Structure 1
Amino acid sequence: MRVLFAGTPAVALPSLEALLAAGHDVVTVLTRPDAPLGRKRVLTPSPVAARAQDLGLPVIKAGRIDDAAALAIAEAAPDVAAIVAYGALIPESALAIPTHGWINLHFSLLPAWRGAAPVQYAVINGDEVTGASTFMLEKGLDTGPIYGSMTEAVRPTDTSADLLERLSHSGAVLLAQTLGGLAAGAVTGVEQHGVVSLAPKLTLEDGRVRWQEPALAVNRRIRGVTTEPGAWTMLAGQRVKLGPVRLRPDVGDLAPGRIRLDARVVLAGTGSHAVELDQVQPAGKKIMKASDWARGLANKEDAVFE
């Protein structure tokens, strides 16, 4: 079949490569427009656009599917569209362009975690198992019939970035297999069933650490928002970014947010027991070891995260 591939960030690259390796005829690539990056805000192609250009594939750059983008898609005459983290909704008018519709690779076991941030929510909520699903896009949010799924264990130290990296590769295999099955007429969609949960896009505020929560919840939140939107807290009116922490149930009582430097180990109190900080990035500075950061605190005894 003729395949339109829609994707934007690096997490979509394994799927593009898997489709090509499986022999699928990728006739064009849909991605979001170039975006300003770095301090100089240089317009830069998306990772998918850059790879497609390297491969000599035609590229459609569109922030949304307007009339011009829809016409370009129609002119490519795809039999099916494969979509992985494109970053914009596909309007109902465009869903019918490919003969076999739009097949989305979603990084959860649907109907769990429908929405933009399924991996982050899986980590924040302490899921022990997650996965990926291929399904048919329709008007509703991630509600279409499922063609296939695979599972992935969530490791105790996983950040959402770690977990998404693994899912991007195993999910790519699932997507290629799904398109192969469609071409052979060997797969059909099955309606979703089970408990529905939602995973809307995370905001900067979702990354703020709530020190009154139990240590396990603090740990999961920090891992879940690493690397996007990033974990942070406030100290003396300044924002401080945090890397993943370690649980320290062996440490005695420490009030929520209270900081203690103990034998080159930096501890912070939570609603239950302490956690050990690893990396810290003060406002306007580079990321550093927590112990190096703590030695520079002016009033160590009075330091409390807000």
Structure 2
Amino acid sequence: MNKPRIVFMGTPEFAAHSLQALHDSGANLVAVVTAPDRRSGRGMKLTSSAVGETAGNLGLPVLKPEKLKDPVFLDALRELKPDLQVVVAFRMLPEAVWALPPMGTFNLHASLLPQYRGAAPINHAIINGEKVTGVTTFFINHEIDTGNILFREEVSILDEDDAGTLHDKLMETGAQLIIRTIDAIASGKIHPLPQDELTGNEILKPAPKIFKEDCKIDWSLDPVTIHNKIRGLSPYPAAWTEFILKDGSVASVKIFRTAITNDKLAQGEISCDGKSVLKIGCRGGALQILELQLAGKKRLATAEFLRGFDHGSLDKVK
């Protein structure tokens, strides 16, 4: 059986890991499509995406179109004569792109579709307190994340997981699922399943893009809800709150790690021993803050933070 000619599309580290795994598996990668180089860092140096860097290291041809409907890009894609396209964490594709290869274009999504369609499935699964999530491969169609499912693989969410650790577990599992999916498509052993057949009476939970204001902590909520939100946003984009100081000034703080305590504090009340313990009250309880970051400073464990911060100036949180 001839190996299908594959064009891989993706941008961040999550996708770069799959690209490396595909290369290592011996897949017939004929080109990679990724985002154009961007200027970043203090020196505003022109930098490739994680996928672009991986493709370069592997010696693969790379296309970096600004617009996916650009005729020059579409002509270059057609000239590659791909049998199959694999998409991981990339932009929404126009039909002229996803309908091009005869074997189709499939996407890897970091949830058990049809649950958590959208841009931030990893974050939202933890925020909602899920114990199980996973990865799904599905054929791309006109609507985002709604195409016929090829394979799904479950991944447990442990109590100690945050968005960072879960990202890494799904990245590993997803890379292997892509290889399995390509093998099945190439051998004709696939049975695409419409997502409607998996929905039943299940209420679907969305996973929309997360904005800064979505990350602000509401201390009127219960400890479990706040704790899940913090770990679901850690390490990025990070939950945040505002310390109100006794002089009336405000200090913005990101919170990365917490523990639920048996303490009973008033909503927004701060309890601090000045050494290593910092607790904040919420509805029906309190959270102990384990790692945090003052605006413009480094992320620190609470003990380190308190060594350089006047805890006596703390009044409450907003």
TM-score class, shorter: over 0.9
SS in 1 for 2:60: coil
Contact 1:7 1:85 in 2 (8 A): yes
Identity of aligned residues (%): 35
The one-letter amino acid of 1:76's match is L
The answer to whether structure 1 residue 220 and structure 2 residue 250 are counterparts is no
Residue equivalent to 1:247: 260
Judge which range, 168-177 or 278-287, deviates more: 278-287
Contact 2:69 2:96 in 1 (8 A): no
**1:194-213 equivalent positions in 2, closer than 5 A:** 194=199, 195=202, 196-213=204-221
TM-score (norm 2): 0.91
Contact 1:104 1:136 in 2 (8 A): yes
Q: Find runs of 4+ consecutive structure 1 residues off by over 6 angstroms.
A: none
Change in CA separation of 1:257 and 1:95 when aligned onto 2, cut-off 3 Å: same
**1:93-242 equivalent positions in 2, closer than 5 A:** 93-192=96-195, 193-194=198-199, 195=202, 196-236=204-244, 237-242=250-255
Contact 1:113 1:198 in 2 (8 A): yes
Contact 1:294 1:300 in 2 (8 A): no
Change in CA separation of 1:39 and 1:258 when aligned onto 2, cut-off 3 Å: farther
SS in 1 for 2:86: strand
The answer to whether structure 1 residue 17 and structure 2 residue 2 are counterparts is no
Judge which range, 276-285 or 106-115, deviates more: 276-285
Contact 2:272 2:311 in 1 (8 A): no
SS in 2 for 1:244: strand
The unaligned stretches of length 5 or more in structure 2 are: 245-249
Change in CA separation of 1:265 and 1:79 when aligned onto 2, cut-off 3 Å: same
The answer to whether structure 1 residue 303 and structure 2 residue 315 are counterparts is yes
**1:42-92 residue CA offsets vs partner (Å, 9 max, x unmatched):** 221011101101111000112441223222222211111101111x11012
Deviation at 1:197, TM superposition (A): 2.4
SS in 1 for 2:172: helix
TM-score (norm 1): 0.94
Residue equivalent to 1:260: 271
Deviation at 1:257, TM superposition (A): 2.2
Of 85, 91, 116 in structure 1, the residue corresponding to residue 94 of structure 2 is 91
Deviation at 1:295, TM superposition (A): 5.2
The one-letter amino acid of 2:281's match is G
**1:151-204 residue CA offsets vs partner (Å, 9 max, x unmatched):** 011010111111010011111111111011100111121111213321111111
Deviation at 1:259, TM superposition (A): 1.5
Of 41, 44, 56 in structure 1, the residue corresponding to residue 44 of structure 2 is 41
SS in 2 for 1:197: coil
Judge which range, 253-262 or 215-224, deviates more: 253-262
SS in 2 for 1:247: strand
The unaligned stretches of length 5 or more in structure 1 are: none
**1:223-270 residue CA offsets vs partner (Å, 9 max, x unmatched):** 111122111111232311111111112x2x212222211362111111
Of 52, 57, 65 in structure 1, the residue corresponding to residue 55 of structure 2 is 52
Of 285, 289, 300 in structure 2, the residue corresponding to residue 288 of structure 1 is 300
Deviation at 1:148, TM superposition (A): 0.4
The answer to whether structure 1 residue 72 and structure 2 residue 76 are counterparts is yes
Contact 1:64 1:89 in 2 (8 A): no
The one-letter amino acid of 2:99's match is A
SS in 2 for 1:6: strand
Contact 1:258 1:305 in 2 (8 A): yes
